[in-house]
Amino acid sequence: MRARAAVLTEVKKPLEIWEVDIDPPREGEVLVRVVAAGVCHSDLHYIQGDLEAVLPAVPGHEGAGVVEAVGSGVTRFQPGDPVLFVFRAFCGQCFYCLNGRPALCDFSNPIRRTGRMFDGTTRFHRDGQDVHHILGVSCFAEYTVVPEQGLLKLPADVPLDRAALVGCGVTTGVGAVLFAAGVRPGESVLVIGCGGVGLNVVQGAALVGAGPIIAADIVPQKLEWARQLGATHTVNPKEQDLLEAVRSLTEGRGADYAFEVIGRAETIQQAYAATRKGGTMVVVGLTPMGTAIPLDPLDLLRSEKTIKGTVYGSANLPRDIPRLIELYRLGQLKLDELISRRLRLEEINQGFEAMLAGSVARSIIVL
Ligand code: PAD
Ligand code: ZN
């Protein structure tokens, strides 16, 4: 079949809309009609060359759609099923999966490394040339083919544009609080960077009854959204010294938990500095490959701080994603409020421009 896809042809260039040929799903694969795809900063990292991808390739990893066809051997899905893409397809059987940590499963590493499916070929082509997959999802396209392990079934009554956000930003942000850090009621939280993911760290902190919840961003509108999602205090580091502000709100100690949700060495160092003795700094933001931060081991020892990374909110995906969707249905998790803009596929570069300009929480591509 033929379909339109947004293609990254060269780093630091806008995506191009191509008409591509899409192969039918092979063994263990599923063809999905994409309904909605969120514009996440991780896609921008590929565009900017911060993260490596085999090009040309179709980005997009936060999305939802409807199963169109299944390849041989696929038993868990059938045409018509509403599904969420999982950008870390997991085997369900390895050490990590059995320990409730599917985001650490190595199963989909070959797809991420080569941009090809497990048999070494791609399902997207143009003029006989291979067009590659990114993260095994590639949902900036009208249709995509993914391994069945990269999908979760969604309840029939959840709007797919809102559910799409749970495919990355919501699970990553809320999960960082609930599952990576395990924040408890009354503990103090600092969130540096309140974009699509950081706002979900804020709402995760509100969900568990943390406080104070201090949101920091250099864009005033982001701070306004952070307040709407549960931040008790906001700081614009351009106008106020962040460390001083955090200390003054935590009896001079620093935050119990500081989340960095941008992906910059300087802000990771700020988060570390703003963490209290014995507290935990959580790195959520993706830094460009090769980034290093200086660490004073003596300070680490004396302060007894914990430094933690988190992929996909450290969520047990098949258990936790349905729970997050349920919290949305119960009105306890906000998804509608996160969508600032709906765009058509051909407007996709506007989504990245708006992200860079800081004018959106999330843009959603509606197909
Ligand atoms: P975004 O661009 O929507 O948000 C970034 C926010 O940081 C914006 O609101 C900026 O205004 C703000 N910001 C920039 N510089 C500063 C600064 N110096 N001080 C304070 N605020 C600042 O991105 P996003 O929310 O989509 O993604 C954030 C990061 O999280 C990004 O690096 C992305 O790749 C990463 C991510 N990690 C995972 C994971 O599994 N760990 C998953 C998804 C995304
Ligand atoms: Zn993402």
Quick one: 31 and 162 in the same domain? yes
Q: Identify the pLDDT of residue 331.
A: 96
The whole domain housing 355 covers 2-167+335-366
157 and 10 assigned to the same domain: yes
Collapse the DSSP code of 177 into the 3-class scheme (helix H, G, I; strand E, B; otherwise coil) and give the result. Answer: helix
Q: CATH number for the domain including 274?
A: 3.40.50.720
The CATH number given to whatever domain includes residue 160 is: 3.90.180.10
Domain co-membership, 298 together with 231: yes
247 and 290 part of one domain: yes
Place of tokens 């991808």: 53
- Residues 130, 229, single domain; the answer is no
Question: What is the model's pLDDT at position 248?
Answer: 98
Whether residues 158 and 178 share a domain: the answer is: no
Residue at 85 is within a domain: yes
Q: Are residues 158 and 20 in the same domain?
A: yes
pLDDT at 212: 98
Active site annotation includes 41: no
Separation of alpha carbons 131 and 142, rounded Å: 15
In one letter, which amino acid is 286? Answer: L
Which pLDDT value is given to residue 310? 98
pLDDT, position 29: 98
Same domain? For 95 and 207 the reply is no
Q: Is residue 56 part of a domain?
A: yes
Query: Are residue 229 and residue 132 in the same domain, yes or no?
Result: no
Q: Which atom of ligand 1 is nearest to the CA of 198?
A: 25
Q: Identify whether residues 6 and 141 lie together within a single domain.
A: yes
In a domain, 354, yes or no: yes
What distance in Å separates the CA atoms of residue 152 and residue 314, rounded to the nearest whole number? 17
Is-contact 339 200, C-beta < 8 A? no
Strand stretches in 159-246, DSSP E: 189-192, 213-216, 233-235
Residue 288 CA, distance from chain mean position: 16
The total number of structural domains that make up the chain: 2
Please name the residue whose Cα sits nearest to atom 31 of ligand 1: 285
194 part of the active site: no
Contact 218 CB / ligand 1 (< 6 Å): yes
CA–centroid distance, 195 to ligand 2, in Å, is: 11
Ligand 2 mean position to 87 CA, how many Å? 8
Please identify which residue in the block is written with the tokens 């395990």: 182
Q: Is 150 domain-assigned?
A: yes
The residue nearest atom 39 of ligand 1, judged by CA position, is: 311
| Ligand 1 proximity of 284 Cβ (cutoff 6 Å) | yes
Q: Is the CB of 40 under 6 A from ligand 1?
A: yes
63 and 132 in a single domain? The answer is: yes
- Nearest C-alpha to atom 12 of ligand 1 is from which residue? 193
In a domain, 322, yes or no: no
Q: Among 165, 171, 262, name the best residue to mutate to test ligand 1's pocket (greatest count of ligand atoms within 8 A of Cβ).
A: 262
Note whether residue 273 is domain-resident.
yes
Nearest CA to ligand 1 atom 21: 217
Block mean pLDDT (10 aa), the chain, length 367: 98 98 98 98 96 97 98 97 98 98 97 97 97 98 98 97 98 98 98 98 98 98 98 98 98 98 98 98 96 96 98 98 97 96 98 96 97
Residue 347 lies in a domain: yes
> Which ligand 1 atom is at minimum distance from the Cα of 267?
18
| Catalytic residue list contains 42 | yes
Are residues 160 and 84 part of one domain? yes
The per-residue pLDDT for 63 is: 98
Tell me, yes or no, whether 263 lies in a domain: yes
Please check whether residue 231 is in contact with residue 191, taking contact to mean a CB–CB distance below 8 angstroms: yes
Q: How many CA atoms lie within 13 A of 6 on its CB side?
A: 29
Supply the DSSP string of 320-357, one letter for each residue.
HHHHHHHHHHTTSS--GGGEEEEE-GGGHHHHHHHHHH
